[in-house]
Amino acid sequence: MVQVKVLKYKIAVIPGDGVGPEVIREGVKVLRAAAEVAGGVDIDFVEFPYGAEHYLRTGELIPEEALKELSRMDAIYLGALGDPRVPTGVLEQGILLRLRFYFDQYVNLRPVRLYPGVPCPLAGKGPEDVDFFVVRENTEDFYVALGGRAKGRSKAELDLIRSLYEAKFKLDVDVDRDEIAYQLGVISRKGAERVIRYAFELARRKGKKRVTSVDKANVLTHVYSLWRDVFESVARDYPEIETEFAFVDAVTMWFVKNPEWYQVVVTPNMFGDIITDLGAMIQGGLGLAPGGNINPEGVSMFEPIHGSAPKHAGKNVANPIATILAGQMMLEELGEQKVADIIEAAVVEVLREGRVRTYDLGGRSSTSEVGDEVVRKIENK
């Protein structure tokens, strides 16, 4: 009798806020079904309570002991964060960004793929035209939380601010009375090098022949000239891959006009945050867009890129496909390609048929009905 080796994974589940618990429920259901059909994979889901309800009840965001427990997991599966009862930024910075920084998840990977059966808002574009990856640097740039507001500071600070401001601008600002806010963007050679190299390795692994670097080096010259220097240096190690530079404003135009041109896009943090939402729309909407926060040598976290959509919470109407595909990405990152392929094939079949789909895709199916249909496809295979 042949013994089948079973690989066991411990996956942390943070359902979060709004529709997060509803879409995560379907994602877990699909992952369990695919693992059972594939065989040889056992997934233990461990749920963590962190989010708005926990914060409002306890005043706690995510404690150090929880981070230590999460570090013993194989991956993190996140629903969504955000609640109108909590000031904007508290949950996002206190939980989401803290997780990204704590686990040094320096890659934000966003596949932009239009699946068969999904209407594209771009006239004349089909699945063969929208199929690329955006690799976003995830821990530097303007997200390092260096900044503040200047008002009522010491005389020495105000004198420095005044001299800098007056040297740069003609606007008459009284820094003793008027308030000035500032935010600093930081890019390190090491931080840029590792995410850019990841993008080239991804292109090589996926059979892509072009990597596009996105920045705004013509205006923000200090940080993004370094980014360009590093990109050119790394590119020399991949002579078979074509390269190009693009400014972020131009990319937003060309994503719409010629999405078929792009294969792998690599970008600093802030621009990646912006253009991936545009990418989500050209692939059919946020309900179809998964994302991975990846540390190739550590604990990675996977999530839909849509928000918590509090107005839809508890109605069982949110599209769970993005969350299901985030689980598919998670299994692929863990090396379980067979299980990941089973999930993606089932999703493709459901979307191609178009019989079961949520309101955002023009249907009337519930969140749970979509999850059930994906499971049915998996089990029938």
Percent of the chain predicted with pLDDT > 70: 89
Mean pLDDT value across residues 226-240: 97
Decide: 270 and 237 in contact? Cβ < 8 Å: no
CB count in 10 Å sphere of residue 76? 22
Instruction: Note the pLDDT of residue 15.
Output: 98
Rounded Cα distance between 340 and 332, Å, is: 6
Instruction: Note the pLDDT of residue 174.
Output: 60
For 130, list phi and psi in degrees, rounded to 5: -125, 95
Question: Is a pLDDT exceeding 90 seen at residue 259?
Answer: yes
CATH topology of domain 1-113+298-381: Isopropylmalate Dehydrogenase (3.40.718)
Instruction: Note the pLDDT of residue 77.
Output: 98
Show the tokens assigned to 293: 């926060």
Dmax (CA) of the chain: 84
Instruction: Note the pLDDT of residue 176.
Output: 56
Question: Is a pLDDT exceeding 70 seen at residue 179?
Answer: no
Instruction: Note the pLDDT of residue 144.
Output: 72
> Residue 346, SS3?
helix
Instruction: Note the pLDDT of residue 43.
Output: 96
Show the tokens assigned to 301: 């976290």
Instruction: Note the pLDDT of residue 148.
Output: 60
The angle formed by the CA atoms of residues 271, 272 and 278, to the nearest 5 degrees, is 95
Active-site residue list: 143, 216, 249, 273, 277
Instruction: Note the pLDDT of residue 222.
Output: 83
Bigger pLDDT: 145 vs 217: 217
Decide: 292 and 107 in contact? Cβ < 8 Å: yes
Q: Where are the domains of the chain?
A: 1-113+298-381, 120-140+187-283, 145-184
CB count in 10 Å sphere of residue 347? 22
- How is residue 57 annotated by DSSP? H
Cβ within 8 Å of residue 56, ≥6 positions away: 83, 85, 86
Mean pLDDT value across residues 240-247: 98
Bigger pLDDT: 147 vs 211: 211
Mean pLDDT value across residues 261-290: 96
Cβ within 8 Å of residue 207, ≥6 positions away: none
Report, at the CATH architecture level, how domain 120-140+187-283 is classified: 3-Layer(aba) Sandwich (3.40)
User: H helices of the chain, where?
Assistant: 20-38, 52-58, 64-70, 90-91, 98-102, 155-168, 189-206, 221-235, 248-257, 269-282, 321-333, 337-353, 367-380
Residues 59-116: tens digit of each pLDDT: 999 999 999 999 999 999 999 999 999 999 899 999 999 999 999 999 999 999 999 9
Question: Is a pLDDT exceeding 80 seen at residue 181?
Answer: no
Share the mean pLDDT of the chain: 92
Residues 322-337: tens digit of each pLDDT: 999 999 999 999 999 9
